[in-house]
């Protein structure tokens, strides 16, 4: 890419409040971040729930569809599909996306860590 194109793109990102930076996720770091922030309550093994449901094949499914998990009414009534964007929004602030959810996690503000976790979760299939 030419230098003036990069400068123009940089200007657009910096000057426009409507453009969000997109972070490329790192699977290895995502596994580590998952271990630190998520593994206490969630498993990545198919069919193994902990306090929260297993996150095996979570990307692309509807909430409250994992069997043998005690979901909140808010989550059972939630009809969104767990896309990468929705997962990112959810783990940023679970109560904001699904008010009344039981997940007692205050959120993960770091966009790179969220991208890494999502990249890692996307490999579980």
| Domains in the chain, CATH or no CATH each | 22-122 (1.10.760.10)
Residue 66 confidence (pLDDT): 86
Residue 24 confidence (pLDDT): 84
Residue 68 confidence (pLDDT): 86
Residue 87 confidence (pLDDT): 96
User: What does residue 112 show for φ and ψ, rounded to 5 degrees?
Assistant: -70, -40
Quick check: 93 and 70 in contact, CB under 8 A?
A: no
Quick check: 30 and 121 in contact, CB under 8 A?
A: yes
* pLDDT tens sequence for the chain (125 residues): 545 444 444 444 444 444 444 578 999 999 999 999 999 999 999 999 999 999 999 999 999 998 889 999 999 999 899 999 999 999 999 999 999 999 999 999 999 999 999 999 999 98
Cα–Cα dist 114/112, whole Å: 5
Residue 1 confidence (pLDDT): 52
Cα–Cα dist 14/11, whole Å: 5
């Amino acid at each position: 890419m030419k230098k003036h194109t990069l400068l123009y793109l940089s200007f657009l990102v910096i000057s426009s409040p409507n453009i969000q930076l997109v972070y490329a996720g790192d699977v290895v770091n995502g596994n580590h971040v998952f271990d630190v922030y998520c593994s206490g309550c969630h498993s990545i093994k198919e069919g193994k729930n902990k306090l929260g449901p297993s996150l095996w094949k979570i990307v692309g499914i509807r909430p409250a569809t994992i069997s043998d998990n005690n979901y909140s009414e808010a989550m059972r009534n939630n009809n969104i599909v767990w896309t990468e964007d929705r997962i990112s929004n959810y783990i940023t602030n679970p109560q904001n996306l699904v008010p009344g959810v039981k997940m007692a996690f205050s959120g993960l503000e770091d966009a790179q860590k969220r991208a890494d976790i999502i990249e890692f979760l996307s490999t579980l299939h």
